[in-house]
A and B are shown apart, each in its own frame.
Chain A
Amino acid sequence: MREAHALICGRRQLTVEDLWPVLDVTFDSAPTNRAKVIRGLVEAGGTLNTSGVAKLLGHSSPTARKEMEALSVLGIVDKSAEGKDEPGRPETQIKLVSDFAWFGSDECKSLMGKVTDIQGGNPFKIQPGQGIKKEFPPCVTVKDDSAPDVEEAGAGVDTFVPAEQHTGKEKLRL
Chain B
Amino acid sequence: MTPTPITLLQRAAEHGLKLGSEGRHTLTVEPAERCPPSFADTLKDHKWLLLDLLRLPFVMVFSKALGETIFFCQDEDTKAALVEAGAEPWSVYTRDELRVLVAQNRVAPLSHAELRKVHDIKRTFGGRITE
Interface residues of A (CB under 8 A from B): 69-70, 73, 145, 147-148, 152-153, 155-156, 159-160, 165, 167-168, 170-174
| CA gap between A148 and B46 in the complex, in Å | 10
| Least CB distance, B108 to chain A, in whole angstroms | 21
> Of A70, A155, A173, which is within 8 A of B28 by CB?
A173
Q: Which residues of B contact A160 (CB under 8 A)?
A: 44
Interface residues of B (CB under 8 A from A): 22, 24-33, 35, 40, 43-44, 47-49, 84, 121, 124-125
> Of B27, B30, B84, which is within 8 A of A170 by CB?
B30
| CA gap between A145 and B2 in the complex, in Å | 14
| CA gap between A145 and B40 in the complex, in Å | 22
Q: Is the pair B48, A156 in contact by a Cβ cutoff of 8 Å? A: yes
Q: Does more than half of chain A's interface fall in helix, strand or loop, or is it mixed? A: mixed
Q: Is the pair B24, A172 in contact by a Cβ cutoff of 8 Å? A: no
| A-B contacts, CB under 8 A, total | 56
Q: Is the pair A159, B26 in contact by a Cβ cutoff of 8 Å? A: yes
Q: Is the pair B29, A172 in contact by a Cβ cutoff of 8 Å? A: yes
Q: Is the pair A172, B48 in contact by a Cβ cutoff of 8 Å? A: no
| CA gap between A113 and B13 in the complex, in Å | 58
Q: Is the pair B29, A174 in contact by a Cβ cutoff of 8 Å? A: yes
Q: Which residues of A contact B43 (CB under 8 A)?
A: 174
Known: A172-B28, A174-B29. 20 other contacts (CB 8 A): A69-B124, A73-B124, A145-B49, A147-B48, A153-B48, A155-B24, A155-B25, A156-B25, A156-B48, A159-B25, A159-B47, A167-B33, A170-B33, A172-B32, A172-B40, A173-B22, A173-B26, A173-B28, A174-B44, A174-B47
| CA gap between A153 and B44 in the complex, in Å | 13
